[in-house]
Chains A and B, each alone.
Chain A
Amino acid sequence: MTSHRLIAKNTLLLFFFLITSAFVGTTLFAQDGKKLFQDNCAQCHNPIKVVTGPALKGATDRIPDAKLLHSWVRNNAAVLATGNKYFNDLRAQYGGTAMNLFPTLTDGEIDAIFKYANSYQPPTTGPETPGASAAESDNSLLYGILTIILAVIMLTLLQINSNLKRLSDEKEGIPSVDAVPFYRNKVYITGLVLVLFVVGGYVLVQGAVGLGRSQGYQPQQPIFYSHKVHAGINQISCLYCHGNAWESRHAAIPSLNVCMNCHAAINEYSGKEKLYREDGTDVDGTAEIQKIYAYTGYDPKTQRYSTPSQPPVEWVKIHNLPDYVYFNHSQHVRAGKVQCQTCHGPIQQMNEVKQFAPLSMGWCINCHRTTKVDFPDSTNAGNKFYSVYTRFHNELKSGEMDSVTVEKIGGTECQKCHY
């Protein structure tokens, strides 16, 4: 009985919920001026700043005739054609650039946009609570001190032990050997030499192996470009800028015209995330954006390009492959479907890029040994190129093999990378 009641109650609730949410949803949609603004206007307008077009805040005051404003937004060409002086002047003021037509916007939507623009307040960048970086202290020093203390205690105890033994020997009348100070004790010396040899050898070998490697390399770049802001917070796909990685062996640093696709309109940094360098100094995001303009010769006021006054940007190359090795990004990104982060680390969290992987041959090989190839399975998904490997297909079918790794198709052979 109770169960029925429960079901009925739940259904009712669900029904209520659905209705409310649908209602709320539509109202939200109708009045979400912010979303409408961002979808339609933000490319050329800012509420409070002059970009490609005028600032929209206060537009309703400047054009009190709501009807005219509506028709202007929907079809500005028609309004211009009527010879409206205000709008014709406005157009001339903005270099004759034509505004897009938005015939589908309803009066309500247009009003919502302007309402949003009028109520817009520039975001205040309040004091940032630094992340959970505070109490992550390093314990190794503590362990080191503890080890040393324990070692000293051990040595002292050993010394006491031998002294006691000597005393007891004396008591029992066994003639004692002359005490050897610990620094002349051969056992100690041998032990010390052995320890030094092992530690020294380890350090030397590690050092030699690491020669020429630069894991963790994090140079300062001519422009403070934050991957955290772009790829992390704003969720821009890596391939939007590094599209070359899809086609070519080089991922390539994007050309400046790619930057200008967005930064022609986004001319200041207004993100909540405070920018600071690795050494803790603050970064003025807006000033960094202005640098692009200097490099491209762009004048944000006139929105015109001229010959740049500066020589091209010289980015500091972070990931330098060793000599004599061939690496192809498109092989990994497109054919191998490897995520960028696999090799470049949590790039979306880095303000300044840091070399994440050692780029050593051992590191490459280890991945090739374990990574599975996009081998066609029974549903025939996967890359059809691998259809030539008939033996592997048979073994997969018969269960002799559970997966095909890169190594199996020759991915660890010399001339896959060295030629």
Chain B
Amino acid sequence: MVVKKHWQSFGELTGSDSFKASSEKEFAEELPQEGIDSKGILDLKSPRRDFLKYLGFSTAAAALAASCEIPVKKAIPYLNKPENMAPGVADYYATTYTSGGDVVPILAKVRDGRPIKIEGNELSSLTKGGTSARVQASVLDLYDTARLRFPVQMTSNGPQQITSFDAFDKMIAGAMGSLGGAPVVILTSSITSPTTRQIISEFLAKNAGSRHVQYDADSFSGMMLANEACYGKKAIPAYQFDNAKVIVSLGADFLGTWLTPVEFARQYSKGRKIDEKNPEMSMHYQFESMLSTTGGSADERFVHRPTETGAVALALLAAVGGNATAPALGDKLKFGVNEAAKSLLGNKGKGLVVSGSNDVHVQTVVNSINEMIGANGSTVNWGTTVQTRQGIDSDFESLVADLNAGKVGALLVYGVNPVYTHYAADKFKAGLQKTKLTVSFNDRIDETTELCKYAIPAPHFLESWGDAEGKTGYFSLMQPTIAPLFLTRPFEDSLLRWSGNNTEYENYFKQYWTGKLGAVEAYQKALQDGVIEPSVPSAGGATYNGGKLAESVAALSSRKIGTGLELVIYQKISMGVGYQANNPWLLELPDPITKATWDNYAIVSPEYAKKTWNLDLANRRQADKYEVYPEKKVVSINAGGKKLELPVLIFPGIHNDVVAVAVGFGRQSAAQDKTQDKTRDYIGRAVVGAGVNAFPLTSYNGTTIDWFVPDITIDQTDKTYSVAQTQTHSSYEGRDEVVKEMTLEDFKKSPQEILDERAKALKPFGGLENFEKEGTLFPYYDKPGIHWGMSIDLNSCIGCGACAIACHAENNVPVVGKSEVMRFHDMHWMRIDRYFSGDPMDPDSVQTVFMPMLCQHCDNAPCENVCPVSATNHSSEGLNQMAYNRCIGTKYCANNCPYKVRRFNWADYTGADSFPDNQVFTGVGKLDDSVIMMNDDLTRMVLNPDVVVRARGVMEKCSFCVQRLQEGKLKAKKENRPLKDMEDVRTACQQACPTEAIVFGNVNDGTSRIRQMREGNPERLYYALEDLHVIPNVNYLAKIRNTEKISDSITES
């Protein structure tokens, strides 16, 4: 019996045969060496003579090709160079990421006139420079090939281009004139921009009877209505996770997709950082139906049915002494609720309860709980309110009714796509058809735009002026970072023009802000900073009115708790509700929990699989059968009278009677043609075939949209569907655990445990002190000057994947497409490994650890020793260097890497080969359309010109962003000063991280932050696979969980 706490797959847990077999092989597929063993050498398919012939021919061909004349290259300088830009030097402009209401202040790195990378804006007190995967990937959306490139009129022959805005304006004016006084409705996502709001109200004032409807696909109506009842404000308060010692989340994925996750992640991580001298951390309880990203970070996690959400809230209210009787709950759940309540009461004023439910009653009860524990005014801050979600579900419902009743003359749609995101899309479609004038401002011909009569695309946010007030008083400005790529016009410009105002939005915006800030200088400073914030952060409570509580308690008490199978609909961290659906970076980003890419699927528990399909994953044969091949069984889900066919993934941590499906996938043009040509042209080449739309499964309960379905049935079909998952390969071959985890209590009791363990393991080889010098036959190399090192705090990592996308953008990491991910050819330099511990059959016991894994830049690197051409070798600064043009692709290095972080370019993903035909082949290895899309001249504008685009047949891996290191050093040299720690040099992953889990710097500098991390945390510090004496330059800080015990998993030997 081997006791192993952490496992990545069922195969690893059970020690299955194919797991063992696969861990012996670096590459999943057999390498093509035909019949070496069976026949004589001359009978081989390619015998020696053929080999020599090919060799001779290729040498001659190469000589011929190379001896041709060197091509003449031309250089075209500027005619009149802008004064403050230098070709080859990147400028950073402060601007703002906005998407469906979300607001993140950012800096756009603009190189030679084109934005190529997004960084967080560190001047923002809310995000402090943090970003998310979607923010990082948004720069790719700018170069999306499917963007609508000019205004169009939709006719029966498809979209017809309208050549000028004036012509378009005339058509609209004509159509508006013939409405006969019927009202105009502006339908948008939540508008956070004060200028846009003002322009909308000016427009509405000119058109009597018209109105503005805000619609959020993931609305917070329930919460806003509850707040209206309890606090008299139809708004969302600012949550202060940084003030909370006890966090109880009732299904809110606040680190991934709930409200303002980037800001919350930053706040949350404050309470999760451990000071070793005085180890304290916040306590995080998560009650949820499926395993969310946030649930993965939780200290204590309890699962419940979606229909039990109200009961859990009531039980918690009762347990903290509220006016409610606790309903009957399962033992574990009851225990969890009581524990949470005890913690909350023990930390009055330092607790916070949030709920992801869109139910007014649940949110009313949660408000009451927050009152009881004194959260109002401390962790629930009413001094400022969140404006990123303002839509009320019932407003949209009445709009749909009005449309169908023919009461609306014109509908202007901006930034929303209800035909895709609404549960009753058919009703909305019918209403749309009945409306005389429909205009879409969306960036592409999406499902809704296709059914509108006119479309005038608005520019991407990186091409726009604008502002956003994500929280009241906290403004973030937008400025264009590139001239509009296409014939687009801002939504605001159209409204201004159509309301008879000839001011351009750019000037309107400038006047508005100059007026507001008082002077042009102040305006320019604000544009430069990007953010305008109150000098003193506003904090405070609101007067609570518990009048509606009894009603809500009664309503929740009478709710029937389901007994059958239930469905929960959730958002993926990469996709959200699908505004950035045609983004190959996001589609290829593995889900933090399932590690699946390119698709959505139905998640069920191992217990359910065993019960229903007799598939026992604790049995290693069956685990293999399920896990080894990407083909998963397809089921048909019947929920609320609707059917959906989806592949099934079996994952621990989800309630045994719950099925989970993500939204954001399954984009489909109205012309549902088999070839999907329309979807490809209108919505994007990458979305074709990516998943199924789950929005139709949501439902309206009379007040708000519900994101669960109580009684569902599942029918098995005889179909299978391939899901591309990562992390089912790349194992550590049964070596020591790379994850170290302790409970807070254990850590307090015996803080030396990890250190002792390390000391014990290294004792025969010189001990901790002299291991590097004595544990090897090789000589010790001196480290003069700079020595780079990285520290990753597993306690802070929430697995959000922002680093992985930042790495994509910074290092020109190729997209390989779903078919290649299935062949384990994924290229991510930075991957986040997810480990489970606990009993997969008991979802409450399942704990999750996220571990970012990248090249460890070993000082005694095993990959370097085996390279026959010395393409990978070590630098005096501690970098494990990779010279791509030297690499001949033997892959020995990848075989010898214990961390499995080297990536081989199996195909010409980037089009970097000299021979164009290398991308064109059929059959096995045919590249997906999304890969070809990434090679479009437009999309290639996102490439970083400081980093080589690798060709087929070379190995690549994390370089510690060497181009940034060189740039930072050069900056210091130019300014004649020593390197500034944490300022001159930061890796892309470090910059992107919203929780500051990654620290990078010069280890030789005694005052550097990396040294502080290592010296300040000697008890949590460890190196992955340290005893191999590879001497990594990346250290980890062990995960400390504020729980009673780390769940064990016992496996057969």
Could you list which residues of chain A lie within 8 angstroms of chain B, going by C-beta atoms?
208, 211-212, 214, 219, 244, 247-250, 252-258, 295-296, 308, 312-317, 320, 323-324, 326, 328, 330-331, 334-335, 383-392, 409-410, 413-416, 418-419
Contact = CB atoms under 8 A, between A and B. Distances in A.
Interface stretch (B132-140, B589-597, B724-732, B878-886): B878-886
A282 B475 CA distance: 65
B883 to A, nearest CB: 4
Contact of B73 (A308, A316, A416): A316
Contacts of B86: 244, 247-248, 252
B764 to A, nearest CB: 31
Given A312-B79, A413-B876, A415-B879, A385 B74 contact: no
Contacts of B507: none
Q: Sort A-B residue pairs by CB-CB distance and give the 9 closest, nearest first.
A: A248-B88, A255-B78, A255-B81, A415-B881, A335-B973, A324-B885, A250-B88, A317-B73, A414-B883
Interface string B60-82: 00010011001011111111110
Given A247-B89, A388-B785, 5 more contacts: A252-B77, A334-B973, A335-B970, A390-B784, A415-B882
Contact of B970 (A330, A409, A414): A330
Interface centre among A313, A315, A324 (most CB of B within 10 A): A324
B882 A316 contact: no
B875 A388 contact: no
A389 B876 CA distance: 12
Interface stretch (B142-150, B413-421, B961-969): B961-969
A416 B966 contact: yes
B610 to A, nearest CB: 50
A186 B921 CA distance: 56
Contacts of A316: 72-75
B156 interface: no
Nearest to B872: A414
A419 B77 CA distance: 26
B77 A385 contact: no
B947 interface: yes
A418 B782 CA distance: 23
26 contacts: A211-B67, A244-B88, A247-B88, A247-B89, A249-B88, A253-B77, A255-B77, A255-B78, A314-B74, A315-B76, A317-B75, A323-B885, A330-B970, A384-B977, A384-B978, A385-B969, A388-B978, A388-B979, A388-B1004, A389-B784, A392-B784, A414-B886, A415-B881, A415-B883, A418-B881, A418-B886
Contacts of B547: none
B972 interface: yes
Given A324-B948, A410-B876, A256 B87 contact: no
A252 B76 contact: no
B948 A320 contact: no
A257 B879 CA distance: 43
A410 B786 CA distance: 10
Contacts of B966: 326, 328, 416, 419
Interface of B: 63, 66-67, 70, 72-81, 86-89, 782, 784-786, 873, 875-877, 879, 881-886, 946-948, 959, 962-963, 966, 969-970, 972-974, 976-979, 1002, 1004-1005
Given A313-B77, A384-B978, A415-B881, A389 B959 contact: no
B87 A248 contact: yes
B974 A313 contact: no
A212 to B, nearest CB: 6
Given A250-B87, A255-B78, A385 B973 contact: yes
Contacts of A308: 79
A248 B87 CA distance: 7
A189 B476 CA distance: 85
Given A256-B80, A314-B76, A385 B875 contact: no
Nearest to A308: B79
B173 to A, nearest CB: 33
B784 A252 contact: no
A415 B70 CA distance: 27
A293 to B, nearest CB: 13
Contacts of B63: 208
Nearest to A408: B784
B72 A418 contact: no
Contacts of B969: 385
Contacts of A247: 86, 88-89
A385 B948 contact: no
A383 to B, nearest CB: 6
Given A391-B782, A410-B877, A415-B882, A257 B87 contact: no
Given A255-B80, A324-B885, A335-B970, A385 B947 contact: no
Contacts of A383: 973, 976
B978 A385 contact: yes
Given A257-B80, A315-B77, A419-B959, A385 B88 contact: no
Contacts of B72: 219, 316-317
A359 B879 CA distance: 26
A334 B974 CA distance: 7
Nearest to B70: A214
Contacts of A390: 784
A280 B826 CA distance: 59
A208 B879 CA distance: 32
A408 B348 CA distance: 61
B135 to A, nearest CB: 25
Nearest to B883: A414
Contacts of B876: 409-410, 413
A326 B1004 CA distance: 26
Interface centre among B74, B785, B877, B946 (most CB of A within 10 A): B785
B878 to A, nearest CB: 10
A419 B947 CA distance: 6
Contacts of B88: 244, 247-250, 252
B89 A320 contact: no
Contact of B875 (A256, A386, A387, A414): A414
B397 to A, nearest CB: 55
B66 to A, nearest CB: 5
Contacts of B963: 326, 419
Nearest to B975: A385
A414 B70 contact: no
Nearest to B948: A324
Contact of B76 (A313, A330, A416): A313
A334 B86 CA distance: 15
Nearest to B66: A211
Contacts of B970: 328, 330-331, 335
Contacts of A317: 72-75
Nearest to A323: B885
Given A387-B978, A388-B979, A419-B959, A255 B79 contact: yes
Contacts of A387: 978
Contact of B972 (A254, A326, A385, A391): A385
